[in-house]
Each structure stands twice: as structure tokens, then as C-alpha cells.
Amino acid sequence: MKIAVCVKAVPDTDAKIAIAGDKKNIDFTGVRIVTSPYDEFAIEEALKLKEKHGGETTVFSVGGAEATDVLRDSLARGIDTAVHIQDEEFANLGPLGTAKVLAAALKDGGFDAIFCGQQGVGGDNNQVPAMLAELLNLPQATIIVKLEIDGNKFKAEREIEGAHEFVEGSLPAVFSTQKGLNEPRYPSIKGVMAARRKEIAVKNAEALGIKGKFAADVRKIKVKEMMLPKERPVGRKLDGDVDAQVKQLLDLLRTEARVI
Amino acid sequence: MAEGILVFIEQRNGQIRKASLEALSEAYRRIATVGGNVTALIVGKDVKSLAGNLPKYHPHKVLVADSADFEKYSTEAYAAALVEGIKSVSPKYVFAANTNMSKDLIPRVAARLDAPCVSDVTEFEVEGNNLQPKRPQYSGKAYTVYEFNSDLAFMTLRSNVFAIQESSNNVNCPIEDLAVSIGEVRAKVTETHASAGNKIELSEASIIVAGGRGIKGPENWPVLQNLCDQLGAALGASRAVVDAGWIDHQHQVGQTGKTVSPQLYIACGISGAIQHLAGMNSSKVIVAINNNPEAEIFKHATYGIVGDCLEVVPKLTEEIKKMNSNN
């Protein structure tokens, strides 16, 4: 099997977020960058598939210099080869642009299965996997928590509100991965050492044949402004013994906050 | 210039999603700004009678794509229906509820029509006739406002944020069939199993009771569940207890779980890790019950009780039970 994984470099979930001076982005100064947590399930599923069915695994990431460490992390976990898609034109692309760039990089790869995290933590768009499937004209199963592959057929279990649904389809296909799909392995020391020596292929807009397609003036969406959330008003701690506090709380919820 | 708003109405098993009605109501409130008409599109099998419930939310027209092929969801068939709906009314904006069906469907259609998409919108700014959606990023640690440069744009609206606006009078509007040529379907839903967990979906619940390490062990979930039952609340959880295997991931609130905005969030034995706060900080009222008076959660709580949640919650449940039986 030929298996592709798409990963994103994102701020650690414990990071405090500050807004950059231009108010169009976040300030990455001092922020620890990690593989987006949902992508770890994508990497793990690709590795498991390869162990079961044989084949090769390739990881792709669109991004600046920060993507290099994330690609090495994928290699350290056992992915065979890495492709770094990097170009100044690709800065702040947004989901549709990112999906177009990934599609350009993946379209001739002959992949049987393509895995993405269900969302990039931080951007929280949940868009790239379904867009990528459309642009590659492939079927999809998104937000999956279980996957079985038999020949060129798949059966995936996906989360929906209050239920799970089972999607059956044919390969090649795009899958987006949700927590619960598997237990991602940690990179081994040996894997980390080996990953350091591996070469990461770099592809720019020209190499992908999409130069000039993402210039700022042809973009259909842009960030107008980023801001921090409004501070919550200072709350209060209640007094007295437990019984008194419980009574006071109920009273406040009914008469002051009016939420029950 | 394009005008009008098309709203994709999600239904499963003859039930229209509440969040879809919120999106439809918001379209009605915004249509004077945008210009043109509000059109509701419902897709499914035998959904014509369901479509009859929609006029009271003030669309100008309801489109019904009714076919046996839509009985179970498939990305490709539903995408064909939505594309057909868009072609028939040429809207400026497409609204949908930000559900897991939308996350599967809307970006796919946006890519097909080469149009931008903004997910999980919680507010709008207005410039001229244009809507500029605002949405949380980093699970609410930051907000972003976008502007479009496109004749067509897609937006999914967060559940529980936009009010439903329903007419009590008999309102009528045209209900028209939409013919859809589906084409090849390479993946489709074959079965659906209800989850054992919450009856009320976390992201749609108006009250959430959530537990963290302070509940001491999974054997104590019934303590919180009893409170949920009295309040009609959904049960949430911190990442710590999900990772510890005390409860299924579906209950997780926070940056790698669900982001929620209920009217009331009761955090029981949750310390308030930054990635948890990110997922619930936009709740209207936050109650924190924690035995550590220094816990971070108290800085964000509207009302705080310092105490053991296993002692406080049963008393709270008992008092609410009394209150409910008096009403």
C-alpha cells in the first residue's frame, strides 16, 4: 500500500496565545511547536496499516521552518519519507489554499490511503481533509475512531452527535482521524537518531506547478483582525458551610444569573 | 452581485437539528443586510412533512431534495444535493450548523465551488452588505474576524450561540422539490448506532455538569449524573480523566475535545488547565466546585464553592430535586 499522511505544526495545547503586532496572526515568540495532536492518530494509523499490509508511508506538511521538526517527529515515529512543502507564497493560506497545495503535492503519488488529523489544533477549521478529498476526487471518511481495510474496501466508524455511524467505501480514500482511533506510539531513541540523518524533500510552488496561484490579491478570504477573548468579569466565592453555600448558589442561579 | 442566504438544514431520522434552526433564524435576522432571500434546503428520504415545519422560521422558500438515495448520509450524494440547491438560488452565503455532518460535507462542497469557508462562527461583523464572520481559534484563546472577496462563501455556525426565532402564527412559504442527479457514490453510511453516553449532545446542551480528577474515580460518575438528570444537563469531563480512561472521549471538553458555550457550566473537581478553560470559557455562567481554593478555575468562575465536590454535588442535587418537585 502507498500511504500518505498530512501533518501540521501547531502551538502546544498548553501554550498561552498572544496576538502579533499586525493583529492578523498569533505571536509565535517563545511558543513550543508540536505535531497537531490529531495528526498523531493519522501517523499511527498509517504505520499500523503498513505493518499489516506492507508498503510505504510518506508524510507531507505545508509550512515554514517550523514544519521541519514536525516532519522529523513523523520520521522518528517510523514514517519512511518526508516532504516539506514550503514557499513564501504559501504563508497564511487558510484551509482551501492549504488543501489546494496538498492536492498538488499528492495528486500523482498513487496513494491508496491518505490520512489527516480531523482538525489542526489551533486553526480548528476541520476543513482541509474534506477539501483535499474533493480536489483529489476521492471518497472520504472524516472524524473516524475505527478503520478496517479489506482489499480495496474500507469500513470506518465516525463520531456524530449522540451516535456513531459506519461508513463503507472503496480505496483510494481520504480519512481524517479522531482521538480514540488508536494509541499513538512515541518515537524511539533509535527512531529519533535515524530521523536526524534522513533527508527531507522540499517542494516549492514552482516545483508543484502552482506558482503565482496564491498571491495575496487573488485570495478569496483574508483575516481582518485577530483579538484575544473578552476577559470574564471577576466572580465570587460563596461563604458559609456547605449547606449555606449550596442554598446561596441556587438562589444566585435562579434570581441573579437566571440560568435555571 | 450575488445576494441571499441558503441554509442547509440537517436532519437525521426525521429529526431536524436544533442548531440548523438556529442557523436559519440567524439567516432571517441578517437577510436585510445581505439582500435577497433566505432559502432553506432539507435533504433526506420522506422529509416533505418535515419541510412543512420550516416556514415558521421565516425562509422565503424551502427546497426539498427527497429521495431514497438520501435515506442514509453519504458525502457525495449530499454534496450533489447542496451543489444543486446552490445552483438553483445562487446565494451569496451558505449557512449550516457546525455539526459533524457539516464538517464532512460543507468543506467538500466549498472546494468543489472554489469558495472560502469559515467554520464555527459565533458572531458577525457587518460592512456594507457583507457579513464578516468572527470565530474562536485556539479553542477560544483567540478570536479571528474574516473578510471575503468572493461571490459565494460558506459559514458553519456554532450550536447554542444564535437564538431560534420562531413565529407562533401560521406562516407559509413555497416548498419546492429539488431534483438532484447524484452520480457515483463511493462511500456511504451503512448503519448508525446511538451512543451509550449523553442523551443531550454536549455542544447543544444548555447546561453541562463536568467532572475532573476531583471526583476521585470513575465509580463516582453517578454522583454527577444524578445532578445532570435533575438539571436536564449533559455530562462533560476534563482531559485528565478521559486520558485516565474514566470516561469516553465524547465527553471531553477542551482543546482536544469539544468547545462548548452553555448557559451554565458546573465544573466539579476540575482544576482549570488552560486547554480545558479554552473549551468552556465562553459559557454564560460558570460554577466551580473544588477543594483547592487556589485552583485556576476560580479565576474564571462566576460563582465558586470551595469544597469537596463529592460532598457538595449530592447536596446541590437534593436541593434542586426539592425545587423541581415544588414547581
To which H or E segment does residue B8 belong?
A: strand B5-9
Phi, psi of B232 (to 5 degrees): 65, 40
> Chain B neighbours among A 36-95 (CB < 8 Å)?
37-38, 94-95
Residue extents of the structural domains in chain B: 5-177, 202-326
- Best of B302, B310, B311, B319 to mutate (most A CBs within 10 Å, chain A): B302
Contacts of B300 in chain A (CB under 8 A): 232, 235
Tell me if chain A has a CB within 8 Å of the CB of B314: no
| Distance of alpha carbon B8 from the chain centroid | 14
**What CATH number is given for B202-326 in this structure?**
3.40.50.1220
User: pLDDT value at position A188?
Assistant: 92
pLDDT per residue as tens, chain B (327 positions):
799 999 999 999 889 999 999 999 999 999 999 999 999 999 999 999 999 999 999 999 999 999 999 999 999 999 999 999 999 999 999 999 999 999 999 999 999 999 999 999 999 999 999 999 999 999 888 999 999 999 999 999 999 999 999 998 878 999 999 999 999 999 999 999 988 777 788 988 999 999 999 999 999 999 999 999 999 999 999 999 999 999 999 999 998 899 899 999 999 999 999 999 999 998 999 999 999 999 999 999 999 999 999 999 999 999 999 988 987
Q: How many CB atoms lie within 10 A of CB B36?
A: 19
User: pLDDT value at position B313?
Assistant: 98
**What CATH number is given for B5-177 in this structure?**
3.40.50.620
- Using alpha carbons only, give the angle A163, B261, B214 rounded to the nearest 5 degrees: 80
User: pLDDT value at position B196?
Assistant: 75
Q: Are A90 and A125 in contact (CB under 8 A)?
A: no
Q: Could you tell me whether strands A221-227 and A9-11 are parallel, antiparallel, or unpaired per DSSP bridges?
A: unpaired
The ipTM is 0.95
> Chain B neighbours among A 14-33 (CB < 8 Å)?
14-17, 19, 26
Closest by CA to A6, choosing from A53, A47, A54, A42, is A42
User: pLDDT value at position B222?
Assistant: 97
Contacts of A19 in chain B (CB under 8 A): 142
Tell me if chain A has a CB within 8 Å of the CB of B76: yes
User: pLDDT value at position B175?
Assistant: 97
- Residue B50, amino acid: L
Residue extents of the structural domains in chain A: 2-218, 234-260
Contacts of A253 in chain B (CB under 8 A): 264, 285, 287, 303
Beta carbons of B189 and A167 less than 8 Å apart = yes
d(Cα A88, Cα A212) in Å, to the nearest integer? 11
User: pLDDT value at position B139?
Assistant: 85
Beta carbons of B108 and A179 less than 8 Å apart = no
B38 is written with which cell numbers? Answer: 433566505
Same fold yes or no, B5-177 and B202-326: yes
d(Cα B22, Cα B40) in Å, to the nearest integer? 12
User: pLDDT value at position A89?
Assistant: 93
Question: Would you say residue A200 has pLDDT above 90?
Answer: yes
d(Cα B246, Cα A64) in Å, to the nearest integer? 39
Question: Would you say residue A234 has pLDDT above 90?
Answer: no
User: pLDDT value at position B169?
Assistant: 82
User: pLDDT value at position A230?
Assistant: 87
User: pLDDT value at position B195?
Assistant: 80
Kindly list the distances between the CA atom of residue B98 and the CA atoms of B10, B161, B259, B267, in Å, as whole numbers in the listed order.
10, 11, 11, 24
Q: Mean per-residue pLDDT for A86-101?
A: 94
d(Cα A99, Cα A103) in Å, to the nearest integer? 6
Tell me if chain A has a CB within 8 Å of the CB of B186: yes
Domain A2-218: state its class: alpha beta
Tell me if chain B has a CB within 8 Å of the CB of A128: yes
Q: pTM score, two decimals?
A: 0.94
Contacts of B323 in chain A (CB under 8 A): 250
Q: How many CB atoms lie within 10 A of CB B126?
A: 11
The DSSP symbol for A137 reads T
Please tell me the number of Cα atoms within 13 Å of A39 on its side-chain side.
24
A253 is written with which cell numbers? Answer: 442561579
Phi-psi map region of B58: left, alpha, beta (phi>0 left; psi -120 to 50 alpha): left
Question: Would you say residue A30 has pLDDT above 90?
Answer: yes
